[in-house]
Amino acid sequence: MTKKRQMSGRTVAELVTHLGRIAHGEGFVDDLTPAQWSALRYFSGANRFSRAPSAFAEYHGTTRGTASQTIKSLVSQGYLIRRRSEADGRSAHLDLTDKAKAILADDPSLTLMQAAGALSTAARRHLANVLERMLGHVALEHGKRPFGMCISCAHLKGDGCCREGKPPYECGFLGEPLDEAELEQLCVNYEAGKASAVKHAFSRAALR
């Protein structure tokens, strides 16, 4: 009987790192650096509670000073607009401009997205579950916030049904109503609690 070869954790880690390195290396497009592309992707996918410089610094694993320089350059190039947070009126809140939305259609990581899209649904589901578990583990080991989506967050309330005087979904942590589109956006206050976000995303997509 043929014995199956075992794949070491080191080999898997090298593959993941290599993939990230190649995608990162493709970042010098349209005069934007990989860090600037990362920021545009972050502010495009983050929910309204997480579009602050400090949250981006944490997500990107960089210092607040470095994150602030990246953001400043994107504001001066017309890709981000800085507003005052509606929550406290003091902290900064950043939104993408139309120019940024247009350039994201040519995101250099599209090849990575296409490679993932070419996998079967089952393979994507399996891979996404595995990566989600690895991310959670690494974030915990490094004392970082895990970031995640409402659909698997312990603070999500509601079942999508409209009842009089109550929103279909609500954030129990912030006491804010949530609309359906926000359920799959990244959040800095995320706390793992419910079933995997990935499983939800795939089962929701299968119903569409």
Q: For binding to ligand SF4 (CB under 6 A), which residues are involved?
A: 47, 49, 150, 153, 155-156, 171, 173-174, 187, 189-190
Token output for 67: 């994150």
Closest to ligand SF4 by CB, 80 vs 178, is 178
- Report the candidate in 65, 64, 54, 60 with the shortest Cα–Cα distance to residue 94: 54
The minimum distance between CB 184 and ligand SF4, in angstroms, equals 10
CA angle, corner 37, sides to 28 and 87, nearest 5?
160
Q: What is the DSSP letter of 7?
A: P
Closest to ligand SF4 by CB, 71 vs 187, is 187
The minimum distance between CB 174 and ligand SF4, in angstroms, equals 6
Token output for 24: 């990162």
Token output for 84: 């005052």
Closest to ligand SF4 by CB, 65 vs 175, is 175
The minimum distance between CB 49 and ligand SF4, in angstroms, equals 6
Closest to ligand SF4 by CB, 78 vs 193, is 193
The minimum distance between CB 37 and ligand SF4, in angstroms, equals 24
Report CA 171 to chain centroid distance, whole Å: 18
Residue 112, SS3 per DSSP = helix
Closest to ligand SF4 by CB, 43 vs 49, is 49
- Judge residue 187's burial from the number of C-beta atoms within 10 Å of its C-beta, 0-12 exposed, 13-18 middle, 19 or more buried: buried
The minimum distance between CB 161 and ligand SF4, in angstroms, equals 17
Distance separating alpha carbons of residues 10 and 180, to the nearest angstrom: 39
What is the β-pairing status of strands 156-157 and 169-171?
antiparallel
